[in-house]
Amino acid sequence: MDAIASREKYRQYVKPEAGLVSRRIFHDEEIYRAELDRIFKRAWLYLAHESEVPDPGDFVHVYMGEEPVILCRDRDGQLYGLVNSCRHRGNRVCRVDRGNARSFVCSYHGWAYNTKGNLIGVPGKTELYKDDIDQPSLGLVRVARIDSYKGLVFGTFDPEAPSLEEFLGDMRWGLDLLLDQGDLVAAPGVVRWNIEGNWKFAADNAIGDMYHAAWTHRSAMLAGHLGGNGAQSLAQYAPTREQKGITLLAAYGHGLNADFAEADEVDLGSPLAAWRLDPTVQARLGPVRSRVQRSNMNVFPNLFVNSGSRDLMVRHPRGPGRMEVRKTVLVDRNASEETRRMQIRSSNRHFGPAGMFEQDDGENWDQSTHGARSLAARDRDLHYAMKLGRARLTRLGDSPPLIEDLVNEHAQLWLYHCWAEFMDAASWPELRAAHTQPTDYFRCATT
């Protein structure tokens, strides 16, 4: 394959100008393997919240794509990302979700690593190896770079990646909707579960699918899951009515969709609305973001953030047809025990492994993934053309350029457009050179 053809290899599956995406990218094993290499081994990936590893020796066990990684705070105060695979036979050296450790000792032959990943102990080093082992070169493989944004810790395996700041770009404006609400810390405990389905269907839903809620979650709403009268909830999520809101597309495939609260919709008595009464927070957020009622966002590739419920969910790929979700709930450091419990309970009822909405969504992603494998329909692309050609970018107050519209499929198309850019680029320098900013993307997409 020549160089130009190889640069277009994945572009053929995504047609933003027609609003079409091939079913193949949701089930093909070869494409999935390429995603691990070109997206998950390259992008900045969310690891954990800083409050999960406050002290020297604290660690959490996380994933970067399929790679098991120990995120650990060393005695020098720095965070290190260590690939959880012993350099002897590859066994895992850490088998728990979180804790505090001075070292990680492999359960197979006992090699020991410190919290920087250096190999500090080899049983039989003198007696069996005759001191002929190059210990300094046998440390755990490290994540190339670790950085954080307002408490969210990210890592990348690629030393050529741009700064986290550049990678997130205008998405920081969106993330601040949550991160500026107060002094937030991760609730204790680890919640994770599996969902059958391709990880991109979850990302595509997170980035701004406000079309689905009243259909997908109709039964849960009628059952009173959102409280009060189910019919009122349904009316609020009415699927076929235009609603006021915004859609933000940010560099490298991130996106957000948020609706504005009408004065009578905000329950100022709820502890989760306390930030609306805090002038400091209001000043930080500015007049536009202060009006936001609820926002869903996806930090490319796989971090879902909900600013209303303060949930962070990473959807780790586990093959083309499966994902493992890890959820973190952020709570206010100063909130009462009762408020924290209320927030965690309500999050688990909504998004957890037994969450009413999570079950609804997971079932759809599972079936969509099955549908993507259809032999009879495989050449019929999926339709992402709602309001295609009708978007205009505008700035509201201090906002970055965004679309003043809530229900549309622009952010989803943007996700797949950027997916193809990641997949076709051979390296970060190539990706940066080829990357279309949203302003340029819309110039093409709207004409």
Binding window for ligand FES (CB under 6 A); candidates: 105-113, 180-188, 340-348, 366-374: 105-113
Q: Per-residue x/- marks for ligand FES, 108-137, CB under 6 A?
A: xxxx--------------------------
The entry of Fe ion, ligand FES, none that residue 40 binds, CB within 5 to 8 Å by partner kind = none
CB of 276 to ligand FES, least distance (A): 52
- Residues numbered 75 to 94 that lie near ligand FES (CB under 6 A) are 86, 88-89, 91
List, in order, residues 6 or more apart from 151 with CB less than 8 Å away.
49, 50, 51, 179, 184
User: How far apart (Å, rounded) are the C-alpha atoms in residues 253 and 266?
Assistant: 31
Q: How distant, in Å, are the alpha carbons of 184, 295, 399 from that of 281?
A: 13, 17, 16
User: Quick check: 204 binds Fe ion (CB under 5 A)?
Assistant: no
The entry of ligand FES, Fe ion, none that residue 48 binds, CB within 5 to 8 Å by partner kind = none
CB of 133 to ligand FES, least distance (A): 12
Binding window for Fe ion (CB under 5 A); candidates: 45-53, 60-68, 359-367, 381-389: 359-367
Cβ-based nearer residue to ligand FES, 21 or 140: 140
- For residue 160, what are its two tokens? 């050529």
- Residues numbered 358 to 377 that lie near ligand FES (CB under 6 A) are none
Sheet holding 103-105, edge to edge: 103-105, 112-114, 119-121
Alpha carbons within 13 A on the beta-carbon side of 173 = 26
**Cβ(391)–Cβ(410) below 8 Å:** yes
Task: Dump the DSSP string for 152-197.
Answer: EEEEES-TT---HHHHHTTHHHHHHHHHTSSSEEEPSS-EEEEEES
Closest CB to Fe ion belongs to which residue?
361
Other Cβ atoms less than 10 A from the Cβ of 117: the count is 22
CB of 89 to ligand FES, least distance (A): 3
Cβ-based nearer residue to Fe ion, 364 or 399: 364
The entry of Fe ion, ligand FES, none that residue 361 binds, CB within 5 to 8 Å by partner kind = Fe ion
**Cβ(72)–Cβ(79) below 8 Å:** yes
The entry of Fe ion, ligand FES, none that residue 111 binds, CB within 5 to 8 Å by partner kind = ligand FES
Between helices 438-446 and 410-424, what is the axis angle to 10°? 110
Cβ-based nearer residue to ligand FES, 78 or 107: 107
User: Quick check: 361 binds Fe ion (CB under 5 A)?
Assistant: yes
Count of residues engaged in binding ligand FES, rule: CB under 6 A: 9
Cβ-based nearer residue to Fe ion, 206 or 425: 206
**Cβ(1)–Cβ(9) below 8 Å:** yes
User: Quick check: 358 binds Fe ion (CB under 5 A)?
Assistant: no
CA 23 to mean position of chain CA atoms: 22
Q: What is the contact surface with ligand FES in residues (CB under 6 A)?
A: 86, 88-89, 91, 106, 108-111
Q: What is the contact surface with Fe ion in residues (CB under 5 A)?
A: 361
